[in-house]
Amino acid sequence: MSKKRQFFPRQVVEAGGNRWDWALLPIVLALFVLLAYGSQQMVRPYELGQTLPLSLDPSYLPYYLLRTTLRMFIALGASVVFSCVFAALTTKYRLAEKVLVPMLDILQSIPILGFLSITVTAFIAFFPGSLLGVECAAIFAIFTSQAWNMAFSAYQGFRTVPAELSEAARVFQLSGWQRFWRLELPFAMPGLLWNMMMSMSGGWFFVVASEAISVSGQDIKLPGIGSYIAMAIANSDMGAIGWAILTMLVGVLMYDQLFFRPLLAWADKFRFEETGSDTAQQSWLLTWLRRTERTQAMVEWFGNLLSRSIALFRLSHDGTSIRARRDQPSLVPQRVWDAVIAAVVFYALWSLGHFISTEVGWAEVGHVFVLGLYTLARVILLLALAALVWVPVGVWIGMNPRWASRTQAVAQFLAAFPTNLVFPVAVVLIVRYHLNPDIWLSPLMILGTQWYLLFNVIAGASTIPTELRHAAKNFGLTGWLKWRRYLLPAIFPSFVTGAITATGGSWNASIVAEYVSWGPTTLKAHGIGSYIQEMTTKGDFPRIALGIGIMCIFVMGFNHFVWRRLYTMAESRLHF
């Protein structure tokens, strides 16, 4: 009897795998079928001006959820690649850092509609006669809502690699290529995964703008949850909005269980600590996968194929061009590069002065600058209030894996909830109780961006080494001493990353939060966001450019003089 028990599993594996392979097979087949069907629908024939069929019938929502989720995952994959390349370049080359980091600040502050209006015509021209051009424009718009905070997270992770690990990499003479794959990317992986979750949820805020596109006088509504919500709002159908929110909740729960939760449980192996971790998350899907035979063999085969492909690439690229920073780099290239940057800046300032004197006037510049100060005050105040609330909550969730697994999907849904659906309620309450719009429209700026702070703090708290937690417990640290000596330094790099993306998102959200309409009622708060929205309504393009330009200056200045200095502090002192 014992012999049968020993040989039976091998015979089953040879015949077609064990029972866990068969349990996982329906999920894998369903994912492949849905992926193939959704991809087929994305490349169907299409001509500009053709109306795509849409319906408010709730029975179409599973199909719309498939289309929207597929776009968001494609954009997420592109964002991961962009973030890794950005982090590698900016942390290896000081010359690249001087250009790419300010450029990311600018891109973060540009409204998503600005990207969409520029790129949609080009994508349609690239794929004539196919819906793929419009799909690519929508995917790129979602990409712009996902990539920036992920890039900052990878940048922070690469810059805060512990000194002892960097010294070990130098002792073992790792090339830049090996250092990237074996040290920097694994160290940044936990924080990057939490920011991937935040990016996926944050993308839901922009699906209405990305799937309901206006170009060349044509209104294009791609099948998806965003277009469904836009049609429901246009028809004032609150029942349809309720069905859309319920569908979003189902979608968030599905990709949380099938994608993010297994990834977070898998990423626990990247924790750099000496003792075993007692904060690892659990995933039923990952447990199933680890118990399979044939499925693991297929995964290993695919991994080996990918490794060989990377090895072929490495034969012609041995990593010497992606090397660690030298302590004393040559000053000549830096001075030449600084001169080029200075020349570009002076030319930009000259062009800006010419534009102002001929198009808008200096008095208008002063007026918009004052409006920018109003919005800056709101951003700072709201960020401080959000930090007081979400930093303790994020630390508690990150250090309690059971509660982290329970609240993970809830946090993703709250971050994914389209906050623009709250705006009409705010208008009704402000008008009914005669409240001051300058004060009570302000919280709308932080509703969708506060989650960047929460998710990054959770990521920082979840990666605190276990031995450090035991040491703090043994020393009896409590109260403010515990926060000042232990918790705040541990989460500080992640907090700075979340604060940068939250402030950038708040500046962007001010465009819709400071100028809110519901029916015939319009409320305006004094600020640069309401100025840009008002000029957009009037079609005054010079003043639109002026407002966006001054907003970019505020974002870049605040990032440079505040957040960059805090990044340096986190890199040198406040991290473990």
pLDDT in tens, 90-137: 988 887 888 888 888 778 777 666 666 667 778 888 888 888 888 998
User: Three-class SS of residue 129?
Assistant: coil
The fraction of the chain above a pLDDT of 90, given in percent, is: 15
At 58, is the pLDDT very low, low, confident or very high (cuts 50, 70, 90)? very high
pLDDT of residue 191: 84
Determine how many CB atoms are found less than 10 A away from the CB of residue 168: 12
On the question of pLDDT at 449 being above 90, the answer is: no
- Distance from C-alpha of 213 to C-alpha of 81, rounded to nearest angstrom: 26
Cβ neighbours of residue 337 closer than 8 Å, sequence gap 6 or more: 95, 98
Q: Give the mean model confidence (pLDDT) for residues 64-81.
A: 94
CATH fold, domain 18-270+282-329, is MetI-like fold (1.10.3720)
Q: Give the mean model confidence (pLDDT) for residues 523-532.
A: 89
On the question of pLDDT at 174 being above 70, the answer is: yes
Cβ neighbours of residue 200 closer than 8 Å, sequence gap 6 or more: 72, 76, 146, 255, 260, 412, 416
pLDDT of residue 117: 62
Higher pLDDT, 62 or 448: 62
Higher pLDDT, 271 or 501: 501
On the question of pLDDT at 345 being above 50, the answer is: yes
Mean pLDDT of the chain: 80
Phi, psi (rounded to 5 degrees) for 280: -70, 140
Higher pLDDT, 450 or 337: 450
- Distance from C-alpha of 458 to C-alpha of 439, rounded to nearest angstrom: 30
Q: Give the mean model confidence (pLDDT) for residues 22-32.
A: 85
pLDDT of residue 376: 93
Phi, psi (rounded to 5 degrees) for 271: -70, 130
Q: Give the mean model confidence (pLDDT) for residues 358-380.
A: 90
pLDDT of residue 387: 93
On the question of pLDDT at 384 being above 80, the answer is: yes
Top CATH class, 361-576: mainly alpha
Higher pLDDT, 517 or 79: 79
User: Which helix (H) or strand (E) element contains residue 401?
Assistant: helix 401-416
At 575, is the pLDDT very low, low, confident or very high (cuts 50, 70, 90)? low
Q: Which of 234-243, 331-340, 536-545 has the lowest mean pLDDT?
A: 331-340
Domain range annotation of the chain: 18-270+282-329, 361-576
Higher pLDDT, 423 or 152: 152
Report DSSP letters for 432-501, one per residue.
HTT--HHHHTGGGGTTTTHHHHHHHHHHHHHTS-HHHHHHHHHTT--HHHHIIIIIHHHHHHHHHHHHHH
* Long-range contacts, 68-71 (Cβ 8 Å, 24+): 68/207, 68/211, 68/224, 68/225, 68/226, 68/251, 69/251, 69/255, 70/35, 70/38, 70/39, 70/42, 71/135, 71/138, 71/139, 71/142, 71/210, 71/211, 71/224
At 218, is the pLDDT very low, low, confident or very high (cuts 50, 70, 90)? low
At 181, is the pLDDT very low, low, confident or very high (cuts 50, 70, 90)? confident
Nearest by Cα to 493 from 268, 190, 215? 190
Tokens encoding 436:
């001051």
Burial of 278 (0-12, 13-18, 19+ CB in 10 A): exposed
Q: Which of 70-79, 86-95, 442-451, 501-510 has the highest mean pLDDT?
A: 70-79
Determine how many CB atoms are found less than 10 A away from the CB of residue 217: 6
Instruction: Tell me if 18-270+282-329 shares its fold with 361-576.
Output: yes
pLDDT of residue 518: 67
On the question of pLDDT at 404 being above 80, the answer is: no
pLDDT of residue 310: 62
Q: Which of 260-264, 271-275, 334-338 has the lowest mean pLDDT?
A: 271-275
Higher pLDDT, 572 or 569: 569
